[in-house]
Every structure is written in C-alpha cells, then in structure tokens.
Amino acid sequence: MVSSARDRVDQDAERSIARIVSAARETLSGDPNASVDDIAKAAGVGRMTLYGHFRTRAELVEAALADAMRAGDEVLSAVDLTGDAQDALARLLDSSWSLVAESMALLTAAQGTLPPGRVLQLHAAPAQRVEELIRRGQNEAAFRTDLPITWLVSAVHYILKGAAEENRAGRLKTEDVRPRRHRDSAVAPVAS
C-alpha cells in the first residue's frame, strides 16, 4: 500500500517536472529573460512547486536546454548521413535549421545563466555529429583539409546560429534562409 502511494507521488512529481520543463522551454524560447514566475504560470503550478523541483532559475534553464537538446538529437539522429558528404551535410543542415531557430532565445537564456562549459557540454552530441561528417568528407576529398576540424565545425555552427539570430531579429526572412540558400552558404566554407 505504501509503495503504490509512493509510486503515485513519484509519477505526479515526474508529470509536474515534465510540465515545468516544457513550459520553461516554451516561455524562454519566447523571452530569454522570462522570470521563474512567468514559467510557473505557464506550467500551471505555483512558485513553491517549481522551486520544489528546481532550486534555482539556472537549474530550470539547464533542464529546459537539456530537454531541447535531447529532442533535437532525436530529430537529427533520423537524418540520413550516408552517401555524398556534401549532400549529407546539406540534409543535416536542413533538419538543423528549424531546431536552431526555435531554440535561439532559449540558448540566449542559457548562455546568460549557465557556465560556458556547461552549454558546450549540452551541445556535444550535435557538434560530434557534424565533426564526424566533416571528417568523413575530408577523407573523401569532399571537404577542405587546410583548416582545423574544430574551425570547420564552428563555421557551420555559427553560420546557422547567425542566420537564426538575424531571422529572429526580423532582419532576415525565413524564406531567404531556407532551404537551399542557408545550406549552400554553410557548406561552402568546408567544401573542397
């Protein structure tokens, strides 16, 4: 009897946490400066409930970014990276664009809250995916080899990030970034 009551409490807590993290992702994606109160309201919980699960705003921001990265990794894991390396990178960028655009404000919140090393850790899986693809492309003479791999990965990342920031600021229309234009400009710096 005690075990089933404890299980029910644990399940309620898990649902509450999921609701809070989802609300944090959505709220911070709209406003990177959103308060804990704003997030609690969006989640339909009180501040005390939120603080019962996340002691600080930083913990909540980290959970929201980790959740976004996990969801993004699921999408990117489904991308076909076989065949021609330039085409594979183009497919990866096509799939990455919407994820980057959606999470720009959330990333801004994280960069203003979390230690830089932690933000990089949370981005490790997507960065590794791009690095492995570029390394394969270098071995196939599809990508340049005269620059360090970290530079090439960063170039791809920051072109996508810059385009997403410009789009969010209203200086670049989505149709001017998708699908072929952004892809070509991001592939060009690494192509041989």
pLDDT tens for residues 143-152?
A: 889 989 999 9
Question: Residue 69 and residue 88: Cα distance in Å, rounded?
Answer: 21
Query: For residue 182, what pLDDT band results from cuts at 50, 70 and 90?
Result: low
Which range, 10-14, 65-69, 176-180, is most confident?
65-69
Domains plus CATH for the chain?
A: 1-176 (1.10.357.10)
pLDDT computed for residue 82 by the predictor: 96
Residue in the block written with tokens 């990508």: 143
User: Which range (80-89, 114-123, 162-171) has the least confidence?
Assistant: 162-171
**In the predicted structure, residue 162 carries a pLDDT above the cut 90:** no
In whole angstroms, give the CA distance from residue 32 to residue 90.
29
- Provide the H-helix boundaries in 78-123: 85-113, 116-122
Residue 118, pLDDT above cutoff 90 = yes
pTM of the predicted protein model: 0.84
